[in-house]
Amino acid sequence: MADAKISMVKRLINESKYLVCICGGGMLRESGHLSLRDPERAYDIEARYGYSPEEMFSSAFYNTRTEFFYRFYKEDILSEKIEPGAAFFSLAKLEEQGILKTIITNNIYAMPKHAGCKNVLEPHGNIEKNKCPHCGREYTKEYLMNAKKVPLCENCVKTIRPGIRFFGEQIDNGLMTQVANEISKADVLMILGTRLDSEFCDSYVSYYEGDKLILINNIENFTDEKADYVIHGVINEIVPQLIEE
């Protein structure tokens, strides 16, 4: 049965005219990464800092306790070593073949780009693109890591703003329009590593107007029935099987 589903999804992908892929947090979990909202990680962070990740990963905390925020951000976010799994490299192959048009990800670690993907939309931002809010000069993740305390712009000595979206912040309107446009153009929409009712996925799926919504996830959920095609299993094992060599 599983082989039949994989064959069907593989055919849909290869026959698609405009394939768009939404990549959720499950893809990072398969690489050993726990999100800030994972209970185990959240408990550990609060025990060490005295504040929850929800409190610290916010614009209010960043603006009012900047030095404390950057201590947490450098030690617990920027220092993570995460490598892209096999699924990301398979998506890069689909893009290279001209089949996959756009990837939309909540991944702030730029994993699709590290795997070779080029057409990537990152509504939650990217830790590798940081900017001075005053002059617009961009800074790397390494520049932030090497700052002794709060990283400051070399031009105007203003605090550099991390290139990520804090909890509770709205997505940039221009970027949200791009996301909506890409999903609305898709004839096949593939969703990897997230529930259909997740905060990340739910609002995006509403823009899809087709009837070939593919869900691949390692966790079953009652909302799976909203998808047209569902495969449960290890994403890094399933996605490589969908590529036409």
Name the residues annotated as catalytic.
124
At 9 the three-state DSSP class reads: helix
Contacts of 154 (CB under 8 A, 6+ apart): 137
Q: Which two tokens stand for residue 68?
A: 């404390």
Cα separation, 36 vs 1, in Å, equals 36
Q: Which helix (H) or strand (E) holds 208?
A: none
Beta bridge partners of 131: 138, 161
DSSP percent split of the chain into helix, strand, coil, nearest 5: 45, 15, 40
Which residue type, as a one-letter code, is found at position 187? Answer: D
Report the relative pairing of strands 188-192 and 138-139 from DSSP bridges.
Answer: unpaired
Give the three-class secondary structure for 59. helix
